[in-house]
Amino acid sequence: MNADQLTDGLQTPFLLIDKNKLQANVHRLQTRIESLGAVLRPHLKTVRSLEATALILPTRSAPATVSTLAEAEALADAGYNNLLYAVGISANKLERAAALLRRGVNLHILLDSLEQAAEVAEYGLAHGVTFSAFIEIDCDGHRGGLPAADPAVVDIARRLSGAGACFQGLLTHAGESYSCSTPDCIRAAARQECGALLQTAELLQSQGIASPTLSVGSTPTAHFADDLTGITEVRAGVFTLFDLFMHNVGVCAMDDIAISIVATVIGHNKRRNTLFIDAGWMALSRDRGTASQKQDYLYGQVCDMSGTPLPGVRVNSANQEHGLIELPADGPCALERFPIGSRLRILPNHACATTAMHLQYQAIDEKEGTREVWTRITGW
């Protein structure tokens, strides 16, 4: 059964996930990272769903990354126990982090300052828990973190070495790889990412401090890194679903994109060859990430219900609950092809932002002919 049949009668707009594509995306990267001698620690922030997690992680104790404590708590409830909370920690979140440790979750936190390290270690000591902490390294000026081989890293690692805390290793994220559009550019970002950690670990080693884990990652570098010598783990998130942004970066084919929004045609403007659909930015998200890339997909690439892209047809603009699609005046994509009430699928610019607009996803398996409703983990 196809997507059209498997979703017949559902109220639009809704978010559709192609399970077979998701599984193929996961298998490809899992195999790749293993063959390079490292472990994949998938970032679950893209789908944020227990049903998806069961397909993304091989076991309940496999390493995973989360972007909120709410995800960590929901995953812990489901028995997952190796979680990295990859956003700089603040004191107001330590109570919830400690509660996860007491439940037996192998939770790792992230920091990049001596102030944070002191707060963490003191809280741990005072409350009888030992926080496992990564130090964030800034490999390309995109986010938090200290520069590679910054001497401050030594002080922070030492501060994490007493009671209350333990130094787990170094973490970096090659945000710069998102602005690439060639394999060479991504490979250079991957080398920079690994180099920043290896160089910092060497400094620590020279001071007698071991870095048990070196964690790099971004979806582009994970797919193009050709040497992970010395690196223990790789994080990536959006690779599970992919999107138009990653297609522009050159990491996936259009056909690998496992997420789309299904919408109904609710109006025609015959004077302007324009369609209105019932998916606006509430369903598609406000993300316009492709605006700065080689191909701007506006508010998304329009496909027929089989998922085949209609060449040159995009969602041109979006109101809260209306999407507007400008069509060519004639040819196979002229207005008559899309009667009011017919349905379309829209590939989004950014999967993480589009899933965030939905509390449920319709996950179909066209091979098995099944459809499941997946639930999003919400909040912080």
Binding residues for its own copies, rule: CB under 8 A, are 9, 11-14, 45, 67-69, 87-93, 96, 112-113, 115-116, 119, 138, 143-144, 147, 175, 264-269, 271, 276, 278, 281-283, 285-288, 319-322, 324, 339-341, 350, 352-353, 356-357, 359-360, 378-380
d(CA 170, CA 244): 31
User: Taking the complex as a whole, how short is the minimal distance between the CB of residue 367 and its own copies, in angstroms?
Assistant: 27
The count of C-alpha atoms lying within 13 angstroms of the C-alpha of 61, restricted to the half-sphere facing its C-beta, is: 2
- Please say which residue, 6 or 228, places its beta carbon nearer to its own copies: 6
Closest approach, Cβ 14 to its own copies, in A, equals: 8
- When the beta carbons of 276 and 297 are compared against its own copies, the nearer one is 276
187 vs 235 by CB, closer to its own copies: 235
CB hemisphere CA count around 150 (13 angstroms) = 18
Query: Is the separation of the CB atoms in 252 and 242 below 8 Å?
Result: yes
Q: Shortest approach of its own copies to residue 359 CB, angstroms?
A: 6
Minimum Å gap between C-beta 128 and its own copies is 22
> Can the peptide bond before residue 13 be classed as cis, meaning omega within 30 degrees of 0?
yes
The answer to whether 53 and 80 have CB atoms below 8 angstroms apart is yes
Distance, in Å, from the CA atom of 138 to the CA atom of 145, rounded to the nearest integer, reads 4
Q: How far is the CB of 270 from its own copies (least distance, A)?
A: 9
Q: Which is nearer to its own copies, 112 or 187 (CB)?
A: 112
Which region holds residue 226: left if phi is over 0, alpha if psi is between -120 and 50, else beta?
alpha
Tokens for 227, please give them: 């040497």
Output 17 or 146, the one with its CB closest to its own copies: 146
